[in-house]
Amino acid sequence: MEHFLQGCKSALQKKDGNDFHVVLGNEACDLDSMVSAITLAYFLSKTSSSKNLVYIPVLNIPREDFPLRTECSFFLRENRISEDLLTFRDEVDLADLYESGQLSLSLVDHNVLPRSDSYMEDVVTEVIDHHLLERRPSANCRVTVELVGSCTTLVAEKIIQEAPQILDFQLASLLQGTIILDCVNMAPAAGKVTPRDTEYVTILESKFPNLPQRDAAFDSLQNAKFDVSGLSTDQMLRKDLKALTSRDVSLAVSAIYMHIEDFLRRDGLENDLQTFCKRYGYNVIVAMAITFTAEHEPIRQISVYSQQGELRRLVTRTLEKATNPSLDLSLTGQGPCSHVTTYRQGNTGASRKKVLPILKDFLRKIDSSSRPMQAFQDAEDSKGQSGFNEQSSDNHFEVFPADDGDQPDSQDSCAGDESKGRDCWARFGKQLEDGLEDENSFPPTPMNSLVEGCPLDRGLPKLTAEAILERISRITVRDSEGNLTNGSQ
Cβ neighbours of residue 20 under 8 Å, at least 6 residues apart? 11, 12, 53, 54, 56, 97, 102, 103, 104
443 upstream amide cis, omega within 30 of 0: yes
Q: Is 34 or 286 the residue whose CB approaches Mn ion more closely?
A: 34
Instruction: Report the alpha-carbon distance of residue 210 to residue 208 in Å, rounded.
Output: 5
The answer to whether 306 and 322 have CB atoms below 8 angstroms apart is no
Instruction: Report the alpha-carbon distance of residue 395 to residue 66 in Å, rounded.
Output: 38
Angle at 84 between CA 163 and CA 96, to 5 degrees: 80
Q: Is 129 or 270 the residue whose CB approaches Mn ion more closely?
A: 129
Q: Is 109 or 248 the residue whose CB approaches Mn ion more closely?
A: 109
Phi, psi (rounded to 5 degrees) for 341? -120, 130
Which stretch in 13-21, 49-57, 147-155, 288-296 sits in contact with Mn ion by CB under 5 A? 147-155
Could you tell me the CA-to-CA distances from 69 to 57, 66, 236 in Å, in that order? 17, 5, 11
Residue 151 CB, nearest distance to Mn ion (Å)? 5
Q: Is 23 or 237 the residue whose CB approaches Mn ion more closely?
A: 23
DSSP state of 183: T
Residue 32 CB, nearest distance to Mn ion (Å)? 3
Residue showing the smallest CB distance to Mn ion in the complex: 32
Q: Is 112 or 299 the residue whose CB approaches Mn ion more closely?
A: 112
Which stretch in 59-67, 151-159, 194-202, 403-411 sits in contact with Mn ion by CB under 5 A? 151-159
Q: How many helices (H) and strands (E) does the chain have?
A: 15, 14
Q: Is 29 or 290 the residue whose CB approaches Mn ion more closely?
A: 29
The answer to whether 105 and 22 have CB atoms below 8 angstroms apart is yes
Q: Is 109 or 434 the residue whose CB approaches Mn ion more closely?
A: 109
Residue type, 155: V
Which stretch in 10-18, 28-36, 332-340, 462-470 sits in contact with Mn ion by CB under 5 A? 28-36
Among 32, 197, 380, 434, binds Mn ion (CB under 5 A): 32
Residue 299 CB, nearest distance to Mn ion (Å)? 30
Q: Which of residues 91-110 bind Mn ion (CB under 5 A)?
A: 109
Among 151, 167, 180, 359, binds Mn ion (CB under 5 A): 151
The closest alpha carbon to 444, from 136, 70, 178, 151, belongs to 151
Report the length, in residues, of the chain. 489
Which stretch in 29-37, 206-214, 290-298, 422-430 sits in contact with Mn ion by CB under 5 A? 29-37
Residue 129 CB, nearest distance to Mn ion (Å)? 8
Instruction: Report the alpha-carbon distance of residue 399 to residue 313 in Å, rounded.
Output: 8
Q: Is 141 or 151 the residue whose CB approaches Mn ion more closely?
A: 151
Cβ neighbours of residue 166 under 8 Å, at least 6 residues apart? 42, 43, 46, 47, 159
The answer to whether 265 and 233 have CB atoms below 8 angstroms apart is no
Residue type, 450: L
Which stretch in 80-88, 150-158, 230-238, 241-249 sits in contact with Mn ion by CB under 5 A? 150-158
> With contacts defined by CB under 5 A, how many residues of the chain interact with Mn ion?
3
Which stretch in 27-35, 83-91, 154-162, 387-395 sits in contact with Mn ion by CB under 5 A? 27-35
Q: Is 328 or 437 the residue whose CB approaches Mn ion more closely?
A: 437
Instruction: Report the alpha-carbon distance of residue 148 to residue 196 in Å, rounded.
Output: 7
Q: Is 148 or 299 the residue whose CB approaches Mn ion more closely?
A: 148
Site map for Mn ion, 401-420, x if CB under 5 A? --------------------
Residue 116 CB, nearest distance to Mn ion (Å)? 20
Other C-beta atoms within 10 Å of 326: how many? 12
Which stretch in 148-156, 198-206, 332-340, 414-422 sits in contact with Mn ion by CB under 5 A? 148-156
Q: Is 76 or 151 the residue whose CB approaches Mn ion more closely?
A: 151
The answer to whether 105 and 97 have CB atoms below 8 angstroms apart is no
Residue 439 CB, nearest distance to Mn ion (Å)? 6
Q: Is 32 or 219 the residue whose CB approaches Mn ion more closely?
A: 32
Which stretch in 144-152, 200-208, 235-243, 471-479 sits in contact with Mn ion by CB under 5 A? 144-152
Which stretch in 31-39, 156-164, 344-352, 408-416 sits in contact with Mn ion by CB under 5 A? 31-39
The closest alpha carbon to 299, from 264, 258, 252, 355, belongs to 258
Q: Which of residues 109-128 bind Mn ion (CB under 5 A)?
A: 109
Cβ neighbours of residue 130 under 8 Å, at least 6 residues apart? 109, 145, 146, 147, 148, 149, 150, 151, 153, 154
The closest alpha carbon to 128, from 154, 160, 148, belongs to 154
Q: Enumerate binding residues for Mn ion (CB under 5 A).
A: 32, 109, 151
